[in-house]
Amino acid sequence: MEHKHIYDAQGKQLCCTQTEKVYNQAGAQRLIRGAPAQNQAHNHSDDDDGHDHSVAEGNTLQLFLPAIISFVLLSAAIAMDNWVPQAWFKGWIRVCWYVVAYIPVGFPVIKDALKSISKGEVFSEFLLMSIATLGAFAIKEFPEGVAVMLFYAVGEVFQTLAVSRAKSNIKTLLDQRPDEVTVVEANSSRVIKAEAATIGDVIQLKPGEKLGLDGELISDTASFNTAALTGESKPDTKTKGEVVLAGMINMNTVSLVKVTTAYQDSKLSKILELVQNATSQKAPTELFIRKFAKIYTPIVVLLAIAICLLPYFFVGQYVFSDWLYRALVFLVISCPCALVISIPLGYFGGIGAASRNGILFKGSNFLDAMAAIQNVVMDKTGTMTEGVFKVQEVRLEPDFDEATILRLVNKIESHSSHPVATAIREYVGEVDESVNLTDVEEIPGHGLKGSVDGKVFLVGNFKLLDKFNISYTIDPNTIVYTTIAIALDSRFVGFITIADSIKEDSAQTIQLLHKLGVKATMLSGDKGTVVAYVAKELGIDKAYGDLLPEDKVNKVKEIKSIGESVAFVGDGVNDAPVVALSDVGIAMGGLGSDATIETADVVIQDDKPSKIPMAINIGKQTKKVVYQNIRLAFVVKGVVLILGAGGLATMWEAVFADVGVSLIAILNAIRIQKMKF
């Protein structure tokens, strides 16, 4: 009997750990693999800082084991040197003891220094630490040489654990899709691999099971836990015909779902890809630090050589060992660990905190960009409103039969994915396929055009009627609701009014944006009266209606022309151009089109507009922590570097300036994951 994974209501897997094959299929093996313990601290192949900070489950003790061995041997040696002298602990025995204490923590670093040199990266932090500690041995400062490398190794382990913790949110997200599904055929069912399921298959979903593919609910009703996709813990009840997504957990009764999307094209697959690729998009601060470290490290090595040798020409009583010691202290202090580790970790923490709240950043560069946003420009339908329309009124000219016209409208709207089409279908009923409607085409920003028995049939806004020079007897500006104008054979037929409700957190969103000092502008293709009404209700600064897609682009260009940054929030296909133009494009991931989601820089998974100010706040807090770490590292290192060069700082101060500052910066970066936004 084939095994099925079982999950609780919170989405936690109860039975076993997902096999690595699932992660490979998700294209995310690099993010979640565990490296052997001896390779944990240093692996140049993956991370920009020259470290692989992934950690396999249960390997924590193994990570600390080399440091523990070194610490025990060093403590015993220091005790025998100072507190409980032993007659035998002298000469070559004492040297060998310190060498043995050094090897567990020093050998991996020396090995990585040699690897770096073989790849052409001569001046690495590994080389700095190797020179400093081996130099300490050369001048017979054995305890300090071992201690520096020991503290460095402990710092590396803590960095590894910190990064692993930062990645845990993403690893949890990557573990959302089961690798098997139960397909129902006739009166039987069989378990197959999720990737083997095809469009049209019917999946049986038992209580506690996760859906493996996107589909349409066939059962009458079902409740799903969508926390994995949206961060929302409240169950979401779906009814027959509604879309359900991979990663949702069935809460109560056995349900049937018809597969509508291939395994690799599901929303979850796209989310996995977004999250996996997020860390490859570097923030300007990260890029600067990487470039800085490449220039900074060789300069430091040259300065250390100068500190050691130049005093020979200027100092009367030059003692080589004293100046070599100062140079070694200088090298240890100058190690750029605090910067090259804590800064990427800070951004990683920001991405993780955002994903935990249902916000996906496609790169750490967009965290910086969101922090600097001055204007949020938003679409109306599906962004600030529910995007769920209901027909309010049907008003036709006396010469036309209402039932006939509604059947025609329902048929032509079935060619559109706009929420208006759904409202028409819910009001009229199922589409009458016998209606003779041909040559249907969509006119962007206007509506739909078709042919009925050789006569032109138009359904859209009043601009569509103006475009075809069709006169009408009413003033569209007097109608508050969204209006669908209808014309047949160059004659005005009438109109249908449709209302959309404002999302419950839309007003709060605008208030929070204003608190952050961000201006809000609404751009919509909907009629001006509707847009003005919604803007007034929400307190939006500026609002423009009756816009074509190119008009939205021009409005965003106007804002950018005065030198202000813009984030655009949208959900439709026609929003993709303006999303791409803005400094940060934000897509509503639940209702949003795939084109907009792929174009966007940030995806809000649960369609809640209140996540917009949350995303800005996460960006601001991440940037704040990153800059705190930069200032801390530069100030402390600068002070101790000067003291070290002047002979006023020992190796112990150097250890604090290097490892101590690194750990403080790491702990500060971890705070992002603990913050409540």
Residue 610 covered by a domain: no
What CATH number has the domain bearing residue 256? 2.70.150.10
Residues of the chain with pLDDT below 50 are: 1-50, 56-58, 170, 173-174, 231, 233, 591-592
The single-letter code of the amino acid at 370 is M
Residue 175 covered by a domain: no
pLDDT confidence of residue 473: 84
**Distance (Å, rounded) from C-alpha 19 to C-alpha 6?**
14
Give the DSSP letter of residue 159. H
Residue 352 covered by a domain: no
Residue 158 covered by a domain: no
Mind listing the pLDDT tens digit for each residue in 502-559? 888 999 999 999 999 999 999 987 778 888 989 999 999 999 988 877 888 899 999 9
pLDDT confidence of residue 39: 33
User: How many domains does the structure of the chain reveal?
Assistant: 2
- The yes-or-no answer on residue 432 being catalytic is no
According to DSSP, the residues that pair with 98 across neighbouring strands are: none
pLDDT confidence of residue 618: 95
Q: Which position has the token pair 């010469």?
A: 399
Q: Are 593 and 609 in contact (CB under 8 A)?
A: no
Hey, CA dihedral for 593, 599, 604, 607, is it positive or negative?
Answer: negative
Say how many CA atoms lie within 13 Å of 479 toward its Cβ: 21
- The CA-CA-CA angle for residues 183, 275, 205, to 5°, reads 20
What CATH number has the domain bearing residue 491? 3.40.1110.10
Q: What is the largest CA-CA distance in the chain?
A: 117
Q: Are 209 and 250 in contact (CB under 8 A)?
A: yes
SS (H, E, C) 58-81: CCHHHHHHHHHHHHHHHHHHHHHH
- The residue ranges of DSSP E strands in 164-210, in sequence order, are 180-185, 188-193, 202-205
- DSSP string of 357-421, one letter each residue: TTEEES-HHHHHHHHT--EEEE-STTTTEEEEEEEEEEEE-TTS-HHHHHHHHHHHHTT--SHHH
Q: Which position has the token pair 């996995």?
A: 272
Q: Catalytic residue, from 379, 500, 571, 601: name it.
A: 379
**Distance (Å, rounded) from C-alpha 166 to C-alpha 183?**
37
Residue 478 covered by a domain: yes
With CA atoms as reference, report the closest residue to 338 among 655, 98, 100: 655
According to DSSP, the residues that pair with 522 across neighbouring strands are: 378, 543
With CA atoms as reference, report the closest residue to 574 among 553, 546, 605: 553
Give the DSSP letter of residue 35. P
pLDDT confidence of residue 66: 92
3-class state of residue 222 by DSSP:
strand
Categorise residue 382: left if φ over 0, alpha if ψ from -120 to 50, beta otherwise.
left
**Distance (Å, rounded) from C-alpha 203 to C-alpha 191?**
10
Residue 435 covered by a domain: yes
The single-letter code of the amino acid at 8 is D
Mind listing the pLDDT tens digit for each residue in 428-486? 988 888 888 899 998 887 889 999 988 999 999 898 999 999 999 888 888 888 889 99
Residue that is last in its domain, among 460, 482, 501 = 501
The single-letter code of the amino acid at 245 is L
Question: How do the residues of the chain divide into helix, strand and coil, expressed in percent and rounded to 5?
Answer: 50, 15, 30
- DSSP string of 616-665, one letter each residue: HHHHHHHHHHHHHHHHHHHHHHHHHHHHHHTT---HHHHHIIIIIHHHHH
Cβ neighbours around 397 below 10 Å, total: 14
pLDDT confidence of residue 286: 62
Residue that is last in its domain, among 475, 501, 527 = 501
CA distances 376 to 2, 565, 573, 576, Å, are 51, 9, 19, 16
Residue that is last in its domain, among 242, 262, 282 = 262
Domain residue limits at 246: 198-262
**Distance (Å, rounded) from C-alpha 275 to C-alpha 280?**
10
Give the pair of three-digit tokens for residue 507.
């007003």
**Distance (Å, rounded) from C-alpha 117 to C-alpha 123?**
8
pLDDT confidence of residue 576: 67
**Distance (Å, rounded) from C-alpha 631 to C-alpha 634?**
5
Residue 9 covered by a domain: no
Q: What is the dihedral of CA 216, 220, 222, 226, to 10 degrees?
A: 30
**Distance (Å, rounded) from C-alpha 396 to C-alpha 380?**
27
Residue 98 covered by a domain: no
pLDDT confidence of residue 47: 41
Q: How many helical (H) and strand (E) elements, i.e. helices and strands, does the chain have?
A: 23, 22
Note the pTM of the prediction, 2 decimals: 0.64
